[in-house]
Amino acid sequence: MAGLDAPAAVVVVLTPNAASRTAWVPGLRVPRIEGPPTAQPERVHAMSATPDSKTSKPSKKKSSLDDVVSLAKRRGFVFPSGEIYGGTRSAWDYGPLGVELKENIKRQWWRSVVTSRDDVVGLDSSVILPRQTWVASGHVGVFTDPLTECQQCHKRYRSDHLAEEFEEKKGRAPAGANGGLEEITCPNCGTRGLWTEPRDFNMMLKTYLGPVEDESGLHYLRPETAQGIFVNFANVMGSARKKPPFGIGQIGKSFRNEITPGNFIFRTREFEQMEMEFFVEPGTDETWHQYWIDTRTDWYVDLGIARENLRHYEHPKEKLSHYSTRTVDIEYRFGFSGSEWGELEGIANRTDFDLKTHSSHSGTDLSYFDQGKGERWVPYVIEPAAGLTRSLMAFLIEAYAEDEAPNAKGGIDKRTVLRLDHRLAPVKAAVLPLSRSEDLSPKARDLAAQLRKTWNVDFDDAGAIGRRYRRQDEIGTPFCLTVDFDTLEDQAVTVRSRDTMTQERVSLDQVESYLAGRLLGC
């Protein structure tokens, strides 16, 4: 046997207490709807108290955000953008491991939301849409955030975020004028109540098309992918031969001139969204809305997020967007200072606002004629909108763990490991020759080349074998395959598991089927 690990790991537990929000009330889970819904279930406002079987696993140390950020930068998941020139605030580049993790998340979303269903199709719309699109959608007029400035240090913040963090800490909303700003302390300098009156700040990023920067060439970088779906509703419905209920999914970049970007990759001005617009008959919208809340929550749990680290936040009626009758956020316990919870995904009932407004502004009929009922109606829209990079951040935080493993000297070392779901792991397996030799290295390289036809496989022959195991643990590689001198005799390799550190001998002609059985869905 080639490895030095013990059969199992000892895991340290550190779980922060969850702070509640005033809009958070207990509720019951609703069973998944199969086929078109007919009855409205009870609304869900909380996770089930019964853990899912896939989340029943040994407890682990709850990572700090600093741990994860350090690992992400050190191991090539995320780099500050343009770092050699000082970087751009809250702009990030995704390195070799980061881009693989992103692609795996996108692949799982696309498979779950689009290709595994017969009622959803895909789309890839332009980043730059006609300017009138954003006038019709309301973005030019109302896509704003309330901006306030500390009069002591001149740092600017969203006043609604300041109020939310105050409520999270104090258990009540701030009182007084200007949304209670007189009670709120500046996060930067500590001055209390010295704020400018909030003013609306439009988050659309402008660009100009053509040789002259004048009003005729003014366009906007899209702040969401949804509008590209709405303006293509008739095209897709006709060409794909779909009828409601059906959905259109899209993954792509969006841009928002955020007032206070930050918290690593959580809030950035350039980001990727995974959005789907699901078009339904009016009257069935509330049931479908609940269906997508449940379905999307289950997706995160299935990929390794513990249910106790998720919650639903129901938007108060007075804070709903202009198009929404109900919006529920899926939030994750990121562990931020101020408020440890952050939005992963919003699921909104957008009613018929979008298709009606685009019909009105464009002069194109975007209604649907129901031949079965002999009537025409404008579909309602249910929108699950997820942040790709926020999901990546949540999966990293959830997967990060520290435990203990034996070293070559007979002692115990601390081990950092990313327990990513195998479907998300950037590298599926690593091939490690026991030593860099003329006998072992070529055989190991041949094995790696063969496995790369199916999976992303690493090859590493530098350093002690135990150290190489640690490197692979730290990036979440599920399996290490060690080619040793016994391999030359028995034509077998030692396969070592990331999570249990157990090892078993597998013949070379069985390695591919061995991995295939353990990397299902990858």
Q: Binding site for substrate: which residues?
A: 158, 224, 271-275, 383-387
Residues 6+ apart with CB under 8 A from 395: 101, 105, 303, 304, 305, 420, 421, 424
Question: How far apart (Å, rounded) are the C-alpha atoms in residues 307 and 370?
Answer: 40
Binding site: which residues? 158, 224, 256-258, 266-275, 343-344, 383-390
User: Could you tell me if 432 and 493 are in contact, meaning their C-beta atoms sit under 8 angstroms apart?
Assistant: no
> Which of the 8 DSSP states describes residue 250?
E
Question: How far apart (Å, rounded) are the C-alpha atoms in residues 141 and 139?
Answer: 5
User: Could you tell me if 81 and 91 are in contact, meaning their C-beta atoms sit under 8 angstroms apart?
Assistant: yes
User: Could you tell me if 108 and 391 are in contact, meaning their C-beta atoms sit under 8 angstroms apart?
Assistant: no
* DSSP conformation letters of 495-518: EEETTT--EEEEEGGGHHHHHHHH
Question: How far apart (Å, rounded) are the C-alpha atoms in residues 308 and 50?
Answer: 10
In Å, how far are 146, 162, 166, 191 from 170, measured between CA atoms? Answer: 22, 12, 6, 18
Binding site for ATP: which residues? 256-258, 266-271, 343-344, 387-390
- Give me 48's structure tokens: 């089930």
Question: How far apart (Å, rounded) are the C-alpha atoms in residues 241 and 202?
Answer: 38
Indicate the residue type of 155: K
If DSSP states are collapsed to H, E and C, what string results for 191-207?
CECCECCCEEEECCEEE
Give Cα 52 to chain centroid, integer Å. 20
Residue whose entry in the numeric block shows the structure tokens 């640690």: 470
User: Could you tell me if 60 and 401 are in contact, meaning their C-beta atoms sit under 8 angstroms apart?
Assistant: yes
Question: How far apart (Å, rounded) are the C-alpha atoms in residues 63 and 420?
Answer: 14
In Å, how far are 42, 133, 239, 423, 472 from 250, measured between CA atoms? Answer: 29, 17, 17, 21, 33
Sheet of strand 156-158, all strands in order from the earlier edge strand to the far edge: 156-158, 144-149, 199-202
- Give me 123's structure tokens: 């789309």
The dihedrals phi and psi of 250, each to the nearest 5 degrees, come to: -155, 140
Question: How far apart (Å, rounded) are the C-alpha atoms in residues 293 and 330?
Answer: 8
> Which of the 8 DSSP states describes residue 113?
I
